Amino acid sequence: MVDINELSSEFPMIKEMQAYHKIFWKNPNYKKEAELPVGSEHIFDAEARFQRFAPYFEVAFPETLSDHGILESPLLKIDQMRSVLNAEATHKLQGSLYLKADNYLPISGSIKSRGGIYEVLKFAERVAIDHGELVYGDNYAKLNEPRFKKMFSKYGIVVGSTGNLGLSIGIVACQLGFNTSVHMSSDAAQWKKDLLREKGVTVVEYNDNFTHAITEARRSAEMDPSAYFIDDEGSFDLFLGYAVAALRLQTQLKAQKITVDKEHPLFVYLPAGVGGSPSGVAFGLKKVIGANVHPIFAEPTHIPSVSLGMLTGLNEKISVYDIGIDGVTKADGLAVGRPSRIAGKMMDTLLYGIQTFDDQKMMKNVAELHDAENIDVEPSAASGLTILDDVQAQLEKDYPMENATHIVWATGGSMVPKSDMDQYLADGESEINKTNL
């Protein structure tokens, strides 16, 4: 049992968290040497698996044809948004600003497409090989044939989710033929539940938080010997699926002639919920691009789970609910009170720091991005924009900023129904109007 009074005395920043104040936690272990359980070779193995499945995606998801079955998003320069942010900033952004537009990823339109889909693919490949129906040299398009769907239908896939992970896993697992169940917390948007049901997924709803939903999902999978549980709190397969993004980003940086070196540092701003997807991406970036890329996480002031875990060193052994925080945020994808078992440990020496933010400014940025760039994202996907102003003063102390590149990772948005997006934009415009009063 955690003694909160004792912990607050040791880590005074906890009191700021309890008051819902914005905090910046700078990682004291950043860049120290550490032995990690996975390395670059595991990222390349994951990328090879995505390449093997590319022919399958071309036939099962025709929207991937233009990219030859590879799931990837564009890197967009957002100069107009940079101007908007700088017009109201305390610390003006130096260098160039880009959006890594995972809101445009095919199939499920979010950062979770990589990790969630990857773990489903790895399980499907293993089942097909174990049944003697697939070898690595085959054209994987054959997996879309009815005989494979029949074979996969004897197995279940189970996951707990606040939304986007459930979408990515549910859509692909059902298309392959798996009996798929997504256990969803009360934070999950209704449209995500509806879409999953349309795709044939069994959605189990809870009037409770993510921790409860994933615990129940794990329990149900343990009771079914044919079920495979995808663990958002501790899966290295999810983690490595996310890490593949770094290989793709490296190619995009080269194509757009973006230099990354000591005089041209790269800062990447990643929204964090359970911490799995931003940690996987950050791990990949550090392994693939190297020492001059600096990952920074963004978390809501009302549910800073990774901040709390890493600050105290307790990681998954502490929840924001332990310190009396309500966990309420409009960023449903970030509404996770207890961090991943992997995130804090893997990020111990790879993460520059974490900045928390207020929902009101996040919603404002959703509307500003729409107005400035005609790009629509869900609230959590704007949080990287929201923390830019707050972290610049700290970054300027540590790095040359004149030629810096800033990449905000947009975690989702293209699948949001128009009525929901219209409400996000209305909320954001309301926040803009308050600022202008």
Are the beta carbons of 177 and 148 closer than 8 angstroms? yes
Q: Who's near 16: CB < 8 A, 6+ residues apart?
A: 23
Whether the per-residue pLDDT at 122 is higher than 70: the answer is: yes
pLDDT of 2 reads 75
Whether the per-residue pLDDT at 186 is higher than 70: the answer is: yes
pLDDT of 167 reads 94
The pTM for the full model equals 0.96
Whether the per-residue pLDDT at 3 is higher than 90: the answer is: no
Whether the per-residue pLDDT at 165 is higher than 80: the answer is: yes
Q: Who's near 182: CB < 8 A, 6+ residues apart?
A: 158, 159, 160, 161, 166, 169, 170, 196, 201, 202, 203, 204, 217
User: How does the average pLDDT of the chain come out, rounded?
Assistant: 96
pLDDT of 1 reads 67
- How confident is the model over 348-388, as pLDDT tens digits? 999 999 999 999 999 999 999 999 999 999 999 999 999 99
Cα→Cα distances 200→109, 118, 180, Å: 18, 20, 8
In whole angstroms, what is the distance from residue 370 CA to residue 389 CA? 19
Q: Which residues of 39-71 are buried (b: 16+ CB within 10 A; e: fewer)?
A: eeebbbebbebbebbbbbbbbbbeebeeeebbb
Grade residue 435 by pLDDT with cuts at 50, 70 and 90. confident
Please determine whether the domains at 4-38+65-108+243-436 and 111-238 fall in the same fold group of CATH: yes
Q: Who's near 57: CB < 8 A, 6+ residues apart?
A: 64, 69, 70, 71, 107
In whole angstroms, what is the distance from residue 214 CA to residue 233 CA? 8
- How confident is the model over 219-247, as pLDDT tens digits? 999 999 999 999 999 999 999 999 999 99
- How confident is the model over 151-163, as pLDDT tens digits? 999 999 999 998 8
For the chain, give the percent of residues with pLDDT over 90. Answer: 95
Phi then psi dihedrals of residue 271, to 5 deg: -65, 140
pLDDT of 410 reads 97
In whole angstroms, what is the distance from residue 250 CA to residue 259 CA? 10
Mean pLDDT across 93-119: 95
Do strands 156-161 and 179-184 pair parallel, antiparallel, or not at all (unpaired)? parallel
Mean pLDDT across 258-267: 98
Q: Who's near 398: CB < 8 A, 6+ residues apart?
A: none
pLDDT of 430 reads 97
Grade residue 332 by pLDDT with cuts at 50, 70 and 90. confident
For the chain, give the percent of residues with pLDDT over 70. Answer: 100
Q: Who's near 330: CB < 8 A, 6+ residues apart?
A: 359, 362, 363, 379, 427
Q: Which residues pair with 300 in a beta bridge?
A: 357
The full set of domain ranges for the chain reads 4-38+65-108+243-436, 111-238
Are the beta carbons of 323 and 308 closer than 8 angstroms? yes
Cα→Cα distances 240→58, 115, 174, Å: 22, 7, 22
pLDDT of 163 reads 86
Q: Which residues of 168-182 are buried (b: 16+ CB within 10 A; e: fewer)?
A: bbbbbbbbbbbbbbb
Assigned fold of 111-238: Rossmann fold (3.40.50)
Whether the per-residue pLDDT at 270 is higher than 80: the answer is: yes
For 37, the token pair is: 């359980």
Architecture label for domain 4-38+65-108+243-436: 3-Layer(aba) Sandwich (3.40)
Whether the per-residue pLDDT at 301 is higher than 80: the answer is: yes
- How confident is the model over 21-65, as pLDDT tens digits? 999 999 999 999 999 999 999 999 999 999 999 999 999 999 999
- How confident is the model over 403-421, as pLDDT tens digits? 999 999 999 999 999 999 9
Query: Helices 236-243 and 40-60, interaxial angle, to 10°?
Result: 80
Mean pLDDT across 309-322: 96
Whether the per-residue pLDDT at 316 is higher than 90: the answer is: yes
For 364, the token pair is: 């404002």
